[in-house]
């Protein structure tokens, strides 16, 4: 199973700033001790407006381009939306679907997430499917049920062969951007619940996301079933992000 470190820049950085940040990241990753052949797939997911400049900044480097969202239709009267072919044409290889901020602020449903996942797969984009419980759901003992329902809904209709192109991220909503990261042992337990929710997920990378930082990431990477991180805040600083890549690489040489 591959190890991934994915930087979700959310709605941060203008195109000019994003190009600069991407250049800083690849510069740090090109220096020892980061330069050694990497066992870690690194993905940068800037806002749509920064995809092209970030693509140019990471060209020639072993870093992949990701998007933060996608619509399921190829083209048409969907003002403001971006389709899989548009992303592919820009060099995008991964797309985050079902991030809790999309579910919460933009009303994305499990059904939307399923359509986006299928559209991404149909076009050869690798979906990074985000699932996770809210604080209230955790407090009322609904964590396992919630991640099971979300995972099953997102992957409904996906064939066994196609599952190998999926990445899942366990992102407890209460841990995102709060500085309150989930206990790593508990995250590993929920990751196992996610894997058990759909047949064939044993070899699918499942990441942890939620206030990951260089201070806590090694504890997640010490969990054999955790395959890396989906990182928000700490991905906006080149040194911190590169350190996360290094930590992942040291844990899974």
Q: Of the listed pieces 20-28, 43-51, 209-217, 219-227, which binds ligand PEP according to CB under 6 A? A: 209-217
Kind and range of the H or E run holding 63: strand 63-67
Interacting stretch for ligand PEP, rule CB under 6 A, among 24-32, 187-195, 208-216, 239-247?
A: 208-216
Q: Whose CA is closest to 50, among 82, 98, 4, 3?
A: 82
Q: Which of residues 211-240 bind ligand PEP (CB under 6 A)?
A: 211-212, 230-234
Residue 99 annotated among the catalytic residues of the structure: yes
Contact status: 150 vs ligand PEP (CB under 6 A): no
Of 125, 138, 143, which is closest to residue 66 (Cα–Cα)?
125
Catalytic residue among 99, 108, 133, 137: 99
- 171 assigned to active site: yes
Is the Cβ of residue 84 or residue 132 nearer to ligand PEP in the bound state? 132
Report in angstroms how near the CB of residue 213 gets to ligand PEP at its nearest.
Answer: 8
For the bound state, the minimum distance from the C-beta of residue 8 to ligand PEP, rounded and expressed in Å, comes to 4
CA distance 213 to 142: 27
Peptide bond between residue 33 and the one before it cis (omega within 30 degrees of 0): yes
Residue nearest ligand PEP (C-beta atom)? 232
CB of 209 to ligand PEP, least distance (A): 4
Q: 146 or 160: whose CB is closer to ligand PEP?
A: 146
Nearer to ligand PEP, 53 or 66 (CB): 66
Residues 154-183 that bind ligand PEP (CB under 6 A): 171, 176-177
Residue choice 3, 8, 69, 240 for contact with ligand PEP (CB under 6 A): 8
Q: How many residues belong to the site for ligand PEP (CB under 6 A)?
A: 14
Structure tokens at 180: 């309150």
Catalytic residue among 133, 161, 171, 186: 171
For 17, residues 6+ apart whose C-beta sits below 8 A from its C-beta are: none
Contacts 24+ apart (CB under 8 A), 98-104: 98/129, 98/130, 98/131, 98/150, 98/154, 99/8, 99/68, 99/69, 99/130, 99/171, 100/130, 100/132, 100/134, 100/171, 100/173, 100/176, 101/10, 101/176, 102/69, 104/173
Is the sign of the CA dihedral 24, 25, 29, 32 positive or negative? positive
Q: Please provide the distance, in angstroms rounded to a whole number, between the alpha carbons at the two ends of the chain.
A: 12
Residue among 118 and 211 whose Cβ is closer to ligand PEP: 211
Which positions touch ligand PEP (CB under 6 A)?
8, 10, 171, 176-177, 209-212, 230-234
Residues known to be catalytic:
99, 171
């Amino acid at each position: 199973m591959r190890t991934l470190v994915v930087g979700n820049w959310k709605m941060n950085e203008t195109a000019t700033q994003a190009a600069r940040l991407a250049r800083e990241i690849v510069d740090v990753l090109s220096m020892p001790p980061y330069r050694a052949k990497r066992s870690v797939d690194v993905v940068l997911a800037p806002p749509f407006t920064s995809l092209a400049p970030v693509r140019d900044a990471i060209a020639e480097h072993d870093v992949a381009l990701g998007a933060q969202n996608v619509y399921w239709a190829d083209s048409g009267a969907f003002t403001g939306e971006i389709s899989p072919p548009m992303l592919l044409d820009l060099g995008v290889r991964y797309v985050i679907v079902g991030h809790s901020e999309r579910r919460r602020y933009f009303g994305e449903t499990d059904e939307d997430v399923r359509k986006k996942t299928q559209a991404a797969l149909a076009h050869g984009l690798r979906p990074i499917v985000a699932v996770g419980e809210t604080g209230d759901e955790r407090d009322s003992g609904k964590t396992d049920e919630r991640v099971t329902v979300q995972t099953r809904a997102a992957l409904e209709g996906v064939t066994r062969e196609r599952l190998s192109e999926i990445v899942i991220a366990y992102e407890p909503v209460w841990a995102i951007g709060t500085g309150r990261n989930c206990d790593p042992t508990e995250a590993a337990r929920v990751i196992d619940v996610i894997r058990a929710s759909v047949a064939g997920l044993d070899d699918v990378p499942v990441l942890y996301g939620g206030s990951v930082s260089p201070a806590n990431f090694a504890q997640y990477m010490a969990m054999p079933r955790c395959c890396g991180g989906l990182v928000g805040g700490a991905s906006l600083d080149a040194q911190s992000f590169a350190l996360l890549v290094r930590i992942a690489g040291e844990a899974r040489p």
